């Protein structure tokens, strides 16, 4: 991970750690931290959905919404290049530039986890 103007490499590593814990927990509300929420809405092309509770309810209230959310982080859904499109914006800019390292690491972690879920 590399430092950027608005996020240090250490902060990126911390977000990735929270992301992996959230995936491993099966998307438990307790594991959905403010740090992770802020990264998703500020650097992954998601809108805030009013607050952390609204965001969590929008994407993790039921299995269909969670599956839709995960499309953005699952390489099976790559249409062009190697980055899945944003589910809200339809672009791949969310995983380029200053946040390429953290966001592609999040894609890798989620793709691996999604594979495990598909295999069971």
59-107 pLDDT, tens digit per residue, is 999 989 998 999 999 988 887 778 899 999 888 888 889 999 999 999 9
How confident is the model at residue 70, as a pLDDT? 92
How confident is the model at residue 19, as a pLDDT? 98
DSSP 15-65: HHHHHHHHHHTTS-GGG--HHHHHHHHHHSS----SSHHHHHHHHHSSHHH
Asked if residue 103 lies in contact with residue 43, where contact means CB atoms within 8 angstroms, the answer is yes
Structure tokens, 40: 């998703």
User: Has residue 56 got a pLDDT over 90?
Assistant: yes
How confident is the model at residue 118, as a pLDDT? 58
In b/e form, how buried is each residue of 50-67, taking b as 16+ CB within 10 angstroms?
A: eebeebeebbbeeeeeee
User: Has residue 14 got a pLDDT over 70?
Assistant: yes
Q: Give the whole-angstrom CA distance, residue 101 versus residue 31.
A: 22
- Please tell me which of 24-28, 36-40, 65-69 the model is most confident about, judged by mean pLDDT: 36-40
Q: For residues 20-43, give the mean pLDDT.
A: 96
Comparison of pLDDT for 115 and 59, the residue scoring more: 59
Structure tokens, 29: 């509300």
Q: Which residues contact 45 (CB under 8 A, 6 or more apart)?
A: 72, 86, 88, 89, 91, 93, 94
């Amino acid at each position: 991970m590399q430092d950027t103007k608005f996020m240090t490499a250490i902060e990126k590593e911390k977000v990735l750690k929270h992301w992996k814990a959230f995936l491993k927990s099966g998307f438990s509300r307790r594991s959905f931290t403010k740090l992770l929420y802020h990264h998703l809405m500020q650097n992954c092309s998601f809108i805030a959905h009013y607050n952390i509770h609204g965001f969590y309810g929008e994407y993790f209230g039921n299995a269909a919404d969670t599956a839709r959310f995960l499309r953005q982080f699952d390489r099976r859904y790559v249409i062009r290049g190697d980055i899945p499109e944003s589910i809200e914006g339809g672009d791949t800019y969310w995983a380029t530039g200053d946040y390429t390292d953290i966001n592609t690491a999040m894609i890798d972690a989620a793709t691996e986890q999604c594979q495990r879920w598909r295999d069971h």
